[in-house]
Amino acid sequence: MNQALKSDPSFDPHFLQSVTEGLGWAEKCLSSRYFYDDRGSELFAQIMKLPEYYLTRSEMQIFTEQSNLICQSLDIKADKLEVVELGAGDGSKTQHLLKQLLKSDAQITYRPIDISSGALSSLKQQMHTALPDLTIQILCGDYFEKLEQLQETVQQKLVLFIGSNLGNLDDTQAKSFIQRLSNTLNPGDYLMLGLDMIKPEQIVLPAYSDAAGITAEFNLNLLRRINRELDANFDLGSFKHVAEYQESEGFARSYLQSLKHQTVTLGASGDQFTFQQGEKIHTEISRKYSDELLAELIQGCQLTLERKFTDTKGYFADYLLQKS
């Protein structure tokens, strides 16, 4: 272990453990949760504006055109509602919903949770400008770890897990996450789950391999982060971004493919990893859903489907669920 790095306050031992484990597997992988350093968050903001990236536009249409309906579907008790958002990012869609909620008589507190402190501080600034009356309490950290903190308040909650964030988990992880999340909710609390729907390859694949190469840059930035924070020597020019999707399977997958036989050293641990020419590191999955898959996902989780909101093309769905 590199002692100088270890004493750096920004050193994250979980990141090191995740990278050494993932690159040690026969089929190498890196966790998508580490995409979002400051540069990663900036690149993701650019991805959301790309012509190929239909996900944000579709869900944005739901929030701009149906926030009123979403509010009407909520049975707010005691005139107080806590809106918790997991992986809030720039909160630009949520802003429309919050604006509507502020028109109600209820007292609204917004608690966005994100691992990116940069994303949270710009979100806070934007929300203050757009909605000066809103009470905001930001929480920086991993939502897998912060979930139990949700139980600290007894107020009725609307938990937002939108932007297809759940899609970054495989089916087993997604089911156990939803069960855990549901366990932190009280009867009458709501969960809004924003999921990308299964659809043909010619629509989905370009969203993960855009012509301008921003998604490739976003994926490669993960290696840049490992170089910087874990003292590695990845040559970014020796890896390329690859995206795959099959409609029958419903998973989009992103990889970083080694363009040559090479060995990379991770200074933080002293480990070396060898890559064959053409070998791929799996970096992200993006699960596409259907109503049937949603029903399987929430089965046994004490969550009832109240209403489904979709964009006009039916590309994206926000499911409003209530804890029973």
Ligand X SMILES: C[S@@+](CC[C@H](N)C(=O)[O-])C[C@H]1O[C@@H](n2cnc3c(N)ncnc32)[C@H](O)[C@@H]1O
Residues contributing to the site for ligand X (CB under 6 A): 33, 36, 41, 44, 87-89, 93, 113-116, 119, 142-144, 162-163, 165
State the residue number with the nearest CB to ligand X. Answer: 163
Give 86: exposed, middle or buried? Use CB within 10 Å, 0-12, 13-18, 19+: buried
Q: Which two tokens stand for residue 238?
A: 């020796």
Handedness of CA 251, 88, 295, 71 (dihedral sign): negative
Q: How far is the CB of 197 from ligand X (least distance, A)?
A: 15
Question: Nearest Cα to 35, choosing from 152, 118, 158, 145?
Answer: 118
Altogether, the residues listed in the chain come to a count of 324
> What is the spatial distance between Cα 58 and Cα 67, in angstroms, rounded to a whole number?
14
- Residue closer to ligand X by CB (options 36, 273) is 36
Q: How far is the CB of 12 from ligand X (least distance, A)?
A: 13
- Residue closer to ligand X by CB (options 62, 264) is 62
Q: How far is the CB of 188 from ligand X (least distance, A)?
A: 24
Give 173: exposed, middle or buried? Use CB within 10 Å, 0-12, 13-18, 19+: middle
Q: Which two tokens stand for residue 145?
A: 């770890």
- Residue closer to ligand X by CB (options 22, 87) is 87
Cβ atoms within 10 Å, residue 35:
23
Supply the DSSP symbol for 196. Answer: E
- Residue closer to ligand X by CB (options 163, 206) is 163
- Residue closer to ligand X by CB (options 84, 223) is 84
Q: How far is the CB of 53 from ligand X (least distance, A)?
A: 10
Q: Which two tokens stand for residue 180?
A: 């855990």
Q: How far is the CB of 143 from ligand X (least distance, A)?
A: 4
Report yes or no: 32 and 294 within 8 Å, Cβ to Cβ.
Answer: no
> What is the spatial distance between Cα 250 and Cα 113, in angstroms, rounded to a whole number?
28
The H-or-E segment that residue 322 falls in is strand 316-323
Q: How far is the CB of 303 from ligand X (least distance, A)?
A: 19
- Residue closer to ligand X by CB (options 156, 165) is 165
Q: Which two tokens stand for residue 100?
A: 């509507």
- Residue closer to ligand X by CB (options 160, 264) is 160
- Residue closer to ligand X by CB (options 115, 264) is 115
> What is the spatial distance between Cα 195 and Cα 205, in angstroms, rounded to a whole number?
16
Report yes or no: 82 and 109 within 8 Å, Cβ to Cβ.
Answer: yes
Q: How far is the CB of 116 from ligand X (least distance, A)?
A: 4
